[in-house]
Structures are given as C-alpha cells and as structure tokens.
Amino acid sequence: ISELNGTTFGGDWMLAFGQYAEAGIGLEFYQNTVSTSYREWFNDGSEIELDLTLRTVSVPLTARFFPTGRDAGIQPYFGGGLAIHFWRYTESGELLDFSDFVFTNVPALLSGEFIDQGVTFGPLVFGGIRIPVGLVHLGGELRYRLNTESQLSGPVFAATTLDIGGMSLLATVQFKIP
C-alpha cells in the first residue's frame, strides 16, 4: 500500500514558552485513492480491479526547541510529541477472499465496498528551520511518525496491518500574531 503516499494538509496553533521553546496542538487531513488489480488472479480472463482509499485526520501535540532562540534571523529547531490518528481504510470493487483458500484452493470473489476504521497513536520526532519575514515565518520540516500500526478487522482484512507512520517533508508557513 506504499502507493498511498500523498499530500497532507494541516495547521498548528503554537504558544511560546520563553525565548527557546514552543508547544501546541495541530490538525492534519490526508486522503488518497489508488486503483490496483490482482496480478496472479483473473476473473473470466479479465483483471480483478479494486480501489484502495486511506483517509486520516491527525491531532499532533508537539513541543519545539530553538537552540539559537525564537528571535534569530534563521531559526533551526527540533522537537517531538504525540499524534492521535483517526483513520478510515476502504477497499471497493472486486476483492478476493482467501479465508477458505486452504480448503477450496480457489479464493472467493466478492464485490462491494469494505470499510474499516479506527484510532491509533504514537510518538513523532521532527527537525526544521524557519526564517522570519515580517510577521510570516517560511521554512521546512522533516517529521517522522513512529509506532502507528493498526490491525484491520473483518473477514476481508484478516491479518492485514495498516501502518500510517513514516517520514514526511513539510513546507511551512507560520503567521505570527503580535
């Protein structure tokens, strides 16, 4: 499911704590759909096609530390926190059900939309740099989410693990409220 990589949109609300730290909460949204097919199995000579959709709404709680201070001309920072991920995974189209494969040697063909959803959470670490331009800060951030796996449930998803963690590269625009 690595083809589900895509763009995440979000924002953070940060509070300053002295010259060298900020802490806050964010809200992020992601959704992507990938069309695919079973390569080894065919239905009457035609491919068995399906769409995979992943949607997440995440709430990161983070703290940032600025070694050169929050008023420097160039502001490198690093930090970490915890993110709560509300996710929804959908497979729609024709699917193969392998639950009876051991007995029949032929997977069952199912048509429809199969959905699972849940909540997972895990730590995140990040580092970045920002440059103040008036009341706007422009920058970039590299963020890594750890331990965000969730076991899918239901007969179609048996023994399938969904991992919404990994590396993200962010372009950041921050507005400073005087």
**Global pTM value:** 0.81
Of 23, 35, 6, the closest CA to residue 77 belongs to 23
Over residues 106-151, the pLDDT tens digits come to 667 777 888 888 899 999 999 999 999 999 999 999 999 987 777 7
Instruction: Break the chain into its structural domains and give their ranges.
Output: 2-175
Burial class (CB in 10 A: 0-12, 13-18, 19+), 174: middle
**Confidence band, pLDDT 50/70/90 cuts, at residue 158:** low
Burial class (CB in 10 A: 0-12, 13-18, 19+), 8: middle
- Is 2.40.160 the CATH classification of the domain at 2-175? yes
**Confidence band, pLDDT 50/70/90 cuts, at residue 157:** confident
